[in-house]
Homo-oligomer: A and B are copies of this chain.
Amino acid sequence: MANAKRMGSLLLRLIAFGATLTAVIVMVTARDKATFFTVSYEARFSDTPAFKYFVVAYTIVSIYGFLVLFLPSESLLWRLVVALDLVFTMLLTSGASAALAIGYVGKKGNPNAGWLPICGQVPKYCNQATVALVAGFIGLIIYTMLVLHSIHAVLNPLLLQKS
């Protein structure tokens, strides 16, 4: 039973690692050329600070997610992993929220501020950024589940002791 649970959590971590890595790769390779009159311009993630932050945050968590996969099951460090999971989940939340807020302006624009949507000019870039965001949110949801599950697992025996 404990073994099945461990395998399940390891599988979740593997999927989460895949999702965060996909988010980074898709975002970094997102490019599209737009031509305004005679000036041609290539849109990249590094044009937008929020997307740069997204890539940095998801790269850090991907490295962490990769390393945790190789932590032996009897290691005492697993206790530390609960706290690290929490910190890195907050990093994902922050990166995904910032990128989503900017991506929304890119798609819909903000007429009140006079910011025009750019997806019409660089549709390929826009679609890839959307895919990266979806992969990013999948990774975020899995990490949130892992954190809530760890907290539940840690609190539950204490709750039983009390009652």
Contacts and interface: CB of A to CB of B under 8 A. Distances in A.
- State the number of copies, please: 2
A148 interface: yes
Interface stretch (A8-16, A17-25, A59-67, A103-111): A103-111
A69 interface: no
Contacts of A151: 82-83, 86, 151
Contacts of A87: 148
Interface residues of A, number: 46
B116 A114 contact: yes
Which 6 pairs from chain A and chain B are nearest by CB? Answer: A47-B112, A98-B101, A97-B97, A94-B97, A115-B115, A50-B101
Interface of A: 41, 43, 47-50, 53, 76, 79, 82-83, 86-87, 89-90, 93-102, 104-106, 110, 112-116, 118, 144, 147-148, 151-152, 154-155, 158-159, 162-163
